Structure 1
Amino acid sequence: MSSELQSKLNYLKAYRENRLKIAQDVLENKDQFKELLSICFSPLDKNNHKACWILEFVSYEELIWLQSHLDFFCSNLKILKDESAIRPIAKIVQLLVKSHYKKNENSILLSEENLQDCIEASFDWLINDTKVAAKAYSIRTLYVLGNHHDWIHPELQIILNKDYAAHSAAYKAVAREVLTKIK
């Protein structure tokens, strides 16, 4: 039998207002959050990518809800293959990493293993055949991580310089922005 959340996801269309409505439902019913997260990392679930869309919107409001699920979230980044799932998850990874290094009372605390999972996934999304939005989030995430891990900026620089000519204007704009900051 399908849960209430699954039923909503079954009928969800990509319209922003529809995604926001379901995200608001989850924000008002935190008990649905764990199920949402589970669907996000169930690639065989037909609603997997839709759950990722919702998780992105929920994360904008309550990123802290991920704190107790970080091991699950980060260790499963590598199983995502659907472009529609990767883009929102890449954005969430960016939010998590930025929060981790802000170091205030609302910061997310990522373990060293969580950080390694984020680094690995971001490099994978950057060098593999993913769409530009996921690559852009990955570039920015790796830039932040590179401020704390010495080896990342040189690797990122090599990839961005090598791939620059083959990509879209959007990719080039983010690459230029980050290359300027690295130098």
Structure 2
Amino acid sequence: MSSELQSKLNYVTAYRENRLKVAKEILENKFFFEELVAVCFSPSDKNHHKACWILEFVSYEELNWLQPHLDFFCSNLKILKDESAIRPIAKVVQLVIKSHYKKNENSILLSETNLQECIEASFDWLINDVKVATKAYSIRTLYILGNYYNWIHPELQIILNKDYAYHSAAYKAVAKEVLKKIE
């Protein structure tokens, strides 16, 4: 591991400005990006959740940097267990899926295997005990995917209707929005 990236991650805190500062440094030094992705999926690394925070911010600006790493990224979604890592990665998955279906010259291109891994991870996050933000990103990701896989919307509808009463107002708002689009 590059001691320079690790030392940057050591000083990252949950404060948005702090995360943005390190993301800006990565955006100015693309050579850190591959290692950043590797750290995201190294749960034994004490900074792995911080790397995920930074990857989310970098992805808002340079999502296409992820293209050569998609097989690694998608195949490792299932290894994430820390809520602090899952939430930003769920957002990145949503960005990747949106980009894939945009179909322009800057679109992310996913293989069928990549898509299946994103579907599996999103359903796992939706049905498992994770925080509402992760569930909201998963719901929206699955809604988009359901426009291309005819079995997803019916499954999503069942889960949302079944779980609706047991969740927070934020979950209910997203569920209601998506259920309305599906019906």
- TM interval, shorter chain, is over 0.9
Query: 1:66-85 counterparts in 2 under 5 A?
Result: 66-85=66-85
Matched, 1:123 2:123: yes
Structure 1: distance between partners of 2:121 and 2:2: 31
Letter of the 2:141 partner, please give it. Answer: T
Q: Which residue of 2 aligns with 1:87?
A: 87
AA matched with 2:70: L
How far does the alpha carbon of each residue in 1:13-52 deviate from its partner, in whole angstroms, 9 at most, with x for none? 1111110010000001000000100000000101000000
Q: TM-score scaled to structure 1, two decimals?
A: 0.99
Give 1:52's aligned amino acid. Answer: C
In structure 1, C-alpha distance between the alignment counterparts of 2:56 and 2:39, rounded to whole Å: 13
The letter for the 1-side match of 2:182 is I
Instruction: Give the C-alpha shift of residue 112 in structure 1.
Output: 0.2
- Are 2:26 and 1:26 aligned? yes
1:43 corresponds in structure 2 to 43
Q: Amino acid of the residue matched to residue 176 of structure 1?
A: K
* Percent of aligned pairs with the same amino acid: 83
For residues 176 and 52 of structure 2, what CA distance do their matches in structure 1 show?
A: 29
Question: Which secondary structure state, in structure 2, belongs to the residue aligned with residue 130 of structure 1?
Answer: coil
Count of residues in correspondence between the two structures? 183
Runs of 4 or more consecutive aligned structure 1 residues displaced over 3 Å after TM superposition = none
| Aligned-residue offset at 1:12 | 1.3
**Secondary structure, counterpart of 1:109 in structure 2:** coil
Supply the distance in 2 between the matched residues of 1:39 and 1:120 (Cα, whole angstroms). 22
Long gaps (5+) in structure 1: none
- What are the Cα deviations for residues 41-94 of structure 1, in whole angstroms up to 9, with x where unaligned? 000101000000000000000000000000000000000000000000000000
Q: Tell me whether 1:135 sits opposite 2:105 in the alignment.
A: no
**TM-score, normalised via structure 2 length:** 0.99
Tell me the distance in 2 between the aligned counterparts of 1:28 and 1:137: 28
Q: CA RMSD in A?
A: 0.8
Equivalent position of 2:163 in the other structure: 163
* Structure 2 match to 1:108: 108
Once the two structures are TM-superposed, the CA of residue 2 in structure 1 deviates from its matched residue by 5.8
